[in-house]
Amino acid sequence: IELVSQKSKLHPKPEGLTLQYGTAGFRTHAKHLDHIMFRMGLLATLRSKKTKSTIGVMVTASHNPEEDNGVKLIDPMGEMVTAAWEGYATQLANAEQDSLLKELKDIIKKEDIDMSEPASVYVGKDTRPSSASLSQAVLDGVSSLGGKTHDYGLVTTPQLHYMVCCCNTHGCYGSPTVEGYYQKLSQAFLQLTQNALNRTDDQKRLLVDGANGIGALKMREMEPFLRSELQVVLSNDGSSGKLNHMCGADYVKVQQKAPQGMNMGVGERCCSFDGDADRIVYYYTDSKGCFHLLDGDKIATLISTYLKELLTQAGLNLQIAVVQTAYANGSSTRYLEDVMKVTVCCTKTGVKHLHHAAQEYDIGVYFEANGHGTVSSLLNNAILQRQSPGKRAVKLLESTINLINQTVGDAISDMLMIEAVLAIRGMSAQDWDAIYTDLPNRQLKVTVCADRRVIDTTDAERRAVSPEGLQDTIDTLVKKYKSARSFVRPSGTEDVVRVYAEADTQESADSLAHEVSLAVYRLAGGIGDEPKPL
């Protein structure tokens, strides 16, 4: 512990700076983060000693602009750290320099941590220029508490989650190497696509927008493993453009348009990763040049329909549910509940919330509309072996489970899963899109001068409880439009308040989103110019 005192001086905290643990960890401009990284190295070491397992620390700000950075902490089974430890993270992050040791000792005492236990921390980083020195700060933090590190260098966030899970399951989940990850996923993908009818090269072609980030690098590495069963045409591969700038999953989802730098033919399947490759959205343009987005809700529908059918064919009576957030398009929820008859539940934003809700079911398909999600499943080989193992549906389920990265949303794994399902079912992007029609929607951001948490929400973020009068105003506005819904919430990754609106027409959705933004601007102390109509 004395070494911590010395080493922490090399990663000093700017006095008075306080940061909150957000939707997926700390995230802000990279220049404020050196001390945070060192301290998260300390915390991961304590967590490792406490759980007697390997813990992961990923340096990334995912969809945020290139200048930002952040940190995601990974628990033993590859999930996000628990709420109690998020609290400790905030405690350590905001301790002034001279009270760091005191706070550290406080956590050790509260958690009754045996400091003589060994510790092991896996570290990874994305391609941001600031990630190299920030991940070094994490490594310093771990070593100053005597922990062992394995630096994976440049990896996607879900790859690091996978490594942590492989390590702590002693290889049962797979081998904790990037090569092991490619092998496991590609084998499952190749097995699944053997069940597809003869596909032409055109059908095997997929345009991938790598967001100029780590996903592009890793896609290149993985390509040979896929043996031309998937023919990836990569754009925004990081060779020239800026990370997430006019490209990537968040840009495509929020702007509802194609990324720059992608040459899309009519009807061609295209997809975009985000900056750390834990999100994916699909899209295509039709013969009239109209852009069609296939977002996380459409992905959840495709995957849950496929799984439900396989379970029936395999004679397995397992409960399947879909977990969404308030951002889920109203049409998707209606389709899932009314047509597919699956249980749908709604949680707060943040995959950590969806992941836990999904674990309540035998099979939980969870996706945020922004394309962040995966499947959590109790299905394992032992269960499948009891169901006549030769059966086609059982074999398909087995490969499907191997293809899914069950630890967290994973753009590469989700992409392979979607490609396999479309291939097996002989579906085009248009067929998939036609399952249901999205309600037109709009997302906007409002910047407020005070702490954005002046907006407090309840009911899985669907209703605002403060500031006073805001929810009443939203209710009144929503009543003016048909099939309308709107909500506001403070972002946990950017310094903005997010506004979502949907309605029967794009004009109505745009107009409602604008009116609600104005209400936020007026009642929550907006800064800058008043929001303008779209």
Structural contact between residues 419 and 429, judged by C-beta atoms closer than 8 angstroms: no
Can 304 be counted among the known catalytic residues? no
Nearer to ligand G16, 147 or 373 (CB): 373
Question: Shortest Cβ distance from residue 372 to ligand G16 (Å)?
Answer: 5
Residue 28-67 contact track with ligand G16, rule CB under 6 A, x = bound: ----------------------------------xx----
Nearer to ligand G16, 352 or 485 (CB): 352
- Residue 54 pairs in a beta bridge with 120
Structural contact between residues 483 and 330, judged by C-beta atoms closer than 8 angstroms: yes
Structural contact between residues 463 and 471, judged by C-beta atoms closer than 8 angstroms: yes
Q: Where in 90-129 is the site for ligand G16 (CB under 6 A)? A: none
Question: Shortest Cβ distance from residue 181 to ligand G16 (Å)?
Answer: 19
Among 350, 467, 526, 531, binds ligand G16 (CB under 6 A): 350
Among 35, 39, 279, 355, binds ligand G16 (CB under 6 A): 279
Using left for φ > 0, alpha for ψ between -120 and 50, and beta otherwise, residue 246 falls in left
Residue 462-491 contact track with ligand G16, rule CB under 6 A, x = bound: -----------------------------x
Question: Could you tell me which stretch among 113-121, 254-262, 347-355, 381-389 binds ligand G16 (CB under 6 A)?
Answer: 347-355
Amino acid making up residue 164: V
Q: How far apart are CA 79 and CA 465, in angstroms?
A: 30
Nearer to ligand G16, 108 or 254 (CB): 254
Q: Looking at 8, 48, 62, 272, which residue is catalytic? A: 62
Question: Shortest Cβ distance from residue 420 to ligand G16 (Å)?
Answer: 23
Strands (E), 112-236: 120-125, 148-154, 205-209, 231-235
Residues in contact with 213: Cβ distance below 8 Å, sequence separation at least 6, in sequence order: 126, 127, 238, 243, 244, 248, 273, 274, 275, 276, 277
By CB under 6 A, residue 349 contacts ligand G16: yes
By CB under 6 A, residue 348 contacts ligand G16: no
Compute how many other C-beta atoms are within 10 angstroms of the C-beta atom of residue 315: 11
Which residue matches tokens 């905030």? 90
Nearer to ligand G16, 41 or 215 (CB): 215
By CB under 6 A, residue 351 contacts ligand G16: yes
Closest by CA position to 371, among listed 466, 489, 303, 272: 272
HSE of 173, CA atoms in CB hemisphere, 13 A: 21
Question: Beta strands 363-367 and 463-466: pairing type?
Answer: unpaired
By CB under 6 A, residue 7 contacts ligand G16: no
Question: Shortest Cβ distance from residue 81 to ligand G16 (Å)?
Answer: 13
Among 229, 419, 494, 510, binds ligand G16 (CB under 6 A): 494
Q: How far apart are CA 202 and CA 190, in angstroms?
A: 17
By CB under 6 A, residue 498 contacts ligand G16: yes
Nearer to ligand G16, 192 or 524 (CB): 524
By CB under 6 A, residue 274 contacts ligand G16: yes
Compute how many other C-beta atoms are within 10 angstroms of the C-beta atom of residue 337: 13
Q: Where in 371-390 is the site for ligand G16 (CB under 6 A)? A: 372
> Residues touching ligand G16: how many (CB under 6 A)?
18
Structural contact between residues 154 and 126, judged by C-beta atoms closer than 8 angstroms: yes
Among 24, 58, 311, 424, binds ligand G16 (CB under 6 A): 24
Nearer to ligand G16, 20 or 91 (CB): 20
By CB under 6 A, residue 20 contacts ligand G16: no
**Token representation of residue 111:** 């958690």
By CB under 6 A, residue 368 contacts ligand G16: yes
In the structure, how many helices (H) and strands (E) does the chain have? 19, 19
By CB under 6 A, residue 159 contacts ligand G16: no
DSSP H or E stretch at residue 113? none
Structural contact between residues 270 and 282, judged by C-beta atoms closer than 8 angstroms: yes
By CB under 6 A, residue 413 contacts ligand G16: no
Q: How far apart are CA 164 and CA 308, in angstroms?
A: 30
| Site residues, ligand G16 (CB under 6 A) | 23-24, 62-63, 274, 278-279, 349-351, 368, 370, 372, 491-494, 498
Catalytic positions are 62
